[in-house]
Structure 1
Amino acid sequence: MSTINYTIPDPELSVLGRSQCNSLKENLVPKITGPNPELDVGLIIVSPMRRTIETALLAFGELGIPMEAHAGWQENSIQPCDTGTSLAALRKEFPEVNFDHVDPVYPDKTSPAGKKYFNTKQAIMARGQEVLRDLKRRKEKVIIVVSHSGFLRSGVTGRWYMNADYRVFDFVDDSEEKEGEAVKIKEREWTVKEGGLGWSFEEAVELGDGLPDEEPALN
């Protein structure tokens, strides 16, 4: 019997979730720190939802790497658990995170103003390409993104992510894309099977798989 409660608005991490963040920290931080880091991380981008912000702070908050919230990386559904909190409240709750560049429409994803965040196949796949283009344009060599399994799997990478697990990708081509051309990424060999922590399913899925086609009723 499932104990997941989808009605809790923008929930915090559970005790189990915090424990999983410790496992992430122990596994990934050594690859970021040191004189010759395997991953030369210059920025952490995080979905502006409580559980992802808490994950980023617990796992990477002590590294001193700039942390920036980005509405494009939020989760798909319009359930209360996947709908964010006002930016004014988040700024007070998480002063360590830069919210200056978050789309001011956040957390709306049901009205015409929030159409780009609709829980539809077209919107989510378009958002996946948009956030990849944004990453590709940035100057940092390596960027950590703390997002959500549903959006990452169906909109961005086509790979599974269990809680706190991670995968590492590179852009296939460093050149600028032509208009209408999809941004392509390739996963590094050491996470390509079951993720960096070995917690995730190995099978790949097609982007857009399982996403609804119909638009939600507009407010």
Structure 2
Amino acid sequence: MLTITTQDYTIPDPELSALGRSQCNSLRENLVPKITGPNPELEVGLIIVSPMRRTIETALLAFGDLGIPFEAHAGWQENSIQPCDTGSPIPALRKEFPQVNFDHVDPVYPDKTSPAGKKYFNSKQAILARGQEVLRDLKRRKEKAIIVVSHSGFLRAGVTGRWYMNADYRVFDFVDEKEEGEGERVKIREREWTIKEGGLGWSFEEAVELGDGLPDDEASGLN
């Protein structure tokens, strides 16, 4: 799991900067050897991307020539309702990125402020619920390993409790337990080789509590 972020919050659904593209090269050089060859460390069968330009570009720059399918998933979008974290209409993205399958993107995307987009609200309750939903979705899939290209805020506060600097990544396995019911929490465990500062060594080592820093439902103004 990995992320590319932007510093200018006013740019709608921004593209990667030149620095971001350079960081993608570092990601590619580090991770691709681990997922290719006769005995890969990770047998990746699918790449899931947040349907935002910077995450799609990251995925394609790092992994676009490996023959692995790309699928966009609204559940992995970033938390805030700032312009930089609000996506573009899917018809426009289809034209820009024909390599990506957008067929299964939630039709409500990119709405996350109206009642129809409630599951994507920038609130602690919504983001924690979404984190569990996307993990359940991953656990049901048949691929042995999946790369998810998402965003630092959502990954840290909603899914893993770990830090992600630009283009860094971490590797997780599902904790083997009896099949969870819909109300049971999905648990994951990070692999030893990324658990400190990430696969590239660019991220903070300390963990945070899920939900850390997220606005509660009343403070979000979207309940």
The question of a shared fold, defined as TM-score above 0.5 by the shorter chain, is answered with yes
Does residue 7 of structure 2 align to residue 17 of structure 1? no
Q: Taking structure 2 as the reference length, what is the TM-score of the superposition?
A: 0.95
In structure 2, what residue type is equivalent to 1:110? T
1:7 Cα offset (Å): 0.5
In structure 2, the residue matched to 1:50 is 53
Q: Indicate the residue corresponding to 1:83 in structure 2.
A: 86
Question: How far apart in 2 are the matches of 1:4 and 1:152?
Answer: 17
User: Is it true that 1:185 corresponds to 2:153 in the alignment?
Assistant: no
8 Å CA contact 1:110, 1:217 repeated in 2? no
Distance between the aligned counterparts of 2:62 and 2:7, measured in 1? 23
Q: Match of 2:109?
A: 106
**What secondary structure does 1:62 align onto?**
coil
> Is 1:156 the equivalent of 2:169?
no
The amino acid that maps onto 1:208 is: G
Kindly indicate whether residue 125 of structure 2 is the aligned counterpart of residue 122 of structure 1.
yes
Distance 1:214 1:101 in 2: 28
CA distance in 2, matches of 1:105, 1:155: 20
Percent identity between the two aligned chains: 88
Deviation at 1:149, TM superposition (A): 0.3
Correspondence for 2:174 among 171, 175, 179: 171
Give how far 1:195 is off.
0.1
Counterpart in the other structure of 1:200: 203
Counterpart CA distance in 2 for 1:4 and 1:40 is 34
CA contact (8 A) 2:193 2:199 kept: yes
CA distance, structure 1, for counterparts of residue 167 and residue 182 of structure 2: 34
Q: Give the paired residue count.
A: 216
Deviations 1:122-166 (A, max 9, x none): 000000000000000000000000000000000000000000000
C-alpha RMSD of the superposition: 1.2
Query: Normalised by the size of structure 1, how large is the TM-score?
Result: 0.96
Where does residue 141 of structure 2 map in the other structure?
A: 138
Aligned partner (choices 57, 73, 76) of residue 73 of structure 1: 76
The alignment partner of 2:64 has SS state of helix
Partner of 1:23, secondary structure, is helix
Structure 1 residues not aligned, in runs of 5+: none
Task: Check the 8 A contact 2:125/2:217 in 1, yes or no.
Answer: no
Which of 32-41 and 173-182 deviates more?
173-182
Moved >4 Å (runs of 4+):
215-218
Secondary structure in structure 2 of the residue aligned to 1:123:
helix
Residue 5 of structure 1 pairs with residue 11 of structure 2: no
Question: Is structure 2 residue 64 aligned with structure 1 residue 31?
Answer: no
Cα distance in structure 1, aligned partners of 2:170 and 2:7: 25
Q: Which runs of 5+ in 2 are unaligned?
A: 1-5
